[in-house]
Amino acid sequence: MKTTPIRLFLVAAMLSGLGTAAQASCSQYGKVRSERSDEKLMVDLVNETSGPVRLYWIDYDGKLQPRGDIGPGAWMGQKSYASHPFIMLDDKNVCRGLGVVGADTQEIVAR
């Protein structure tokens, strides 16, 4: 059985205390932050927008830590840890997606 990648607009259910991924939107920014984890994972961050996006990791204090720019139609592989959220902002600092790395999260897509 093929696992469907969890797409952008996913945040960990740590918001609701369920411990699994839950669907949310960019409105969750400011409410999510990284949790400590020893589970190393790799995630592909894909930009499906018509312009560049800037990728940020949301750290343990909820602050944005820049991870690079992703051009339109491009992608970036990122080593991370389970429960670490990422946000992609366009050139006007508008959220194009928010996702949390997890065992089932292989790809996060900005739209």
Do the domain assignments include residue 5? no
Residue ranges making up the domain that contains 49: 10-110
Do the domain assignments include residue 36? yes
Do the domain assignments include residue 1? no
pLDDT for 51-110, tens place per residue?
A: 999 999 999 999 999 999 999 999 999 999 999 999 999 999 999 989 988 877 678 889
Query: What is the C-alpha to C-alpha distance for residues 48 and 14, in angstroms, rounded to an integer?
Result: 27
Q: Which of 1, 3, 5, 2 is nearest to 48 (CA)?
A: 5
Question: Cβ(62)–Cβ(30) under 8 Å?
Answer: yes
Do the domain assignments include residue 42? yes
- Residues 2-14: what's their mean pLDDT? 36
Instruction: Give me the pLDDT at residue 21, please.
Output: 31
Query: What is the C-alpha to C-alpha distance for residues 104 and 93, in angstroms, rounded to an integer?
Result: 28
Q: Which residue has the higher pLDDT, 10 or 70?
A: 70
Q: Is 58 exposed, middle or buried (0-12, 13-18, 19+ CB in 10 A)?
A: buried
Number of domains in the chain: 1
